[in-house]
C-alpha cells in the first residue's frame, strides 16, 4: 500500500422517469450501468453491509465540517447520501439504475435526499439545477467510463464544484465481474486529467477491497477545486 500525497427529513425524487426503450423494445440504460439492475437485490446487502466511515476512512478528515451542498454521483442504495444528510448536508443523490434507486428511496426514505435519475459524463439534469457543490462523491463510478467519457466527465465535475470544494474518487482495480462494463483506470491518469481541468490532488492512496477478494484493490483520490 502506498501513500503518495497528503498535503429535513423527507426523501424526494426529482423528475422521475420510467426506463427508456429503444425501437427493439429493449431497455436503453446509460453505458456503465450494465449488470447492476439485474443484481440489485444482492448488491443492496453488500452496499449496506459496510458503513460510510469504513468506505471513506482515508478521506474523512478532508470532508466539509459545516453543512453544505453534496452531490453523490452513482449513489447506489444511498448509504453515503444518507450518512451525509444525517450530518446536516443538503444531498443530491444521482443514480441511473432504477432498481438501485428504488432500494435507496425505500431504505432511506426518512433522509433529506433529493434523488435524480441522471448519469455521467454530462449529468444534464444535475447541471440544469444550476447549483454548485461543496463536496462531490464519485465512489466506484469512474472506471465505468471510457477515455472519451472520462474527459467529458471531469469537465462536468469541475464545473459543478464551488471554489475550494472537494471531490473524492474511489477507483476499482482487478478482475471485472461478469456482465459489467469496466476499464482499467490509473490514479496517475486521473490526477493528470483533474489537473487539466484545474483540480489539484490532495490525497492519493491505495487499499485492499472491503467487499471482494484479494485480487481487487482500490485507489482513493481527493481533488480540490481552486479557491
The predicted pLDDT at position 141 comes to: 95
Of the listed ranges 31-40, 96-105, 163-172, 179-188, the least confidently predicted one is 31-40
1-20: per-residue pLDDT in tens? 333 333 333 333 333 322 33
Judged against a pLDDT cut of 80, whether residue 173 lies above it is answered with: yes
Per the domain annotation, does 23 fall within a domain? no
Q: Work out how many domains the chain is built from and give that number.
A: 1
Per the domain annotation, does 54 fall within a domain? yes
Per the domain annotation, does 100 fall within a domain? yes
| Residue 226 grid coordinates | 481552486
Judged against a pLDDT cut of 60, whether residue 205 lies above it is answered with: yes
Per the domain annotation, does 24 fall within a domain? no
Domain range for 101: 3-16+29-224
The predicted pLDDT at position 36 comes to: 61
103-119: per-residue pLDDT in tens? 899 999 999 999 999 99
The predicted pLDDT at position 32 comes to: 58
Q: Within 10 A of 81 (CB to CB), how many other CB atoms are there? A: 30
Per the domain annotation, does 50 fall within a domain? yes
Per the domain annotation, does 22 fall within a domain? no
Q: Please tell me the pTM assigned to this model.
A: 0.84
The CATH number linked to 69 is: 3.40.50.150
Tell me what the mean pLDDT of segment 190-198 comes to.
98
Amino acid at each position: 500500500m502506498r501513500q503518495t500525497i497528503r498535503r429535513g427529513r423527507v426523501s424526494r425524487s426529482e423528475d422521475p422517469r420510467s426506463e427508456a426503450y429503444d425501437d427493439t423494445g429493449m431497455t436503453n440504460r446509460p453505458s456503465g450501468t450494465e449488470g447492476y439492475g439485474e443484481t440489485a437485490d444482492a448488491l443492496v446487502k453488500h452496499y449496506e453491509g459496510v458503513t460510510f466511515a469504513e468506505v471513506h476512512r482515508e478521506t474523512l478528515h478532508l470532508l466539509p465540517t459545516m453543512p453544505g451542498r453534496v452531490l453523490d454521483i452513482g449513489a447506489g442504495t444511498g448509504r453515503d447520501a444518507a450518512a451525509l444528510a444525517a450530518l446536516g448536508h443538503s444531498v443530491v443523490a444521482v443514480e441511473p439504475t432504477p432498481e438501485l434507486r428504488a432500494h435507496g428511496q425505500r431504505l432511506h426514505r426518512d433522509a433529506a435526499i433529493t434523488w435524480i435519475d441522471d448519469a455521467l459524463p454530462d449529468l444534464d439534469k444535475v447541471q440544469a439545477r444550476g447549483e454548485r457543490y461543496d463536496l462531490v462523491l464519485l465512489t466506484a463510478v469512474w472506471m465505468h467510463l471510457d477515455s472519451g467519457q472520462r474527459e467529458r466527465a471531469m469537465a462536468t465535475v469541475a464545473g459543478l464544484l464551488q471554489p475550494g470544494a472537494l471531490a473524492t474518487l474511489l477507483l476499482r482495480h482487478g478482475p471485472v465481474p461478469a456482465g459489467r462494463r469496466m476499464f482499467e483506470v490509473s490514479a496517475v491518469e486521473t490526477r493528470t486529467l483533474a489537473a487539466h481541468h484545474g483540480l489539484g490532488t490532495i490525497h492519493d492512496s491505495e487499499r485492499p477491497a472491503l467487499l471482494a477478494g484479494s485480487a481487487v484493490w482500490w485507489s482513493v483520490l481527493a481533488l480540490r477545486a481552486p479557491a
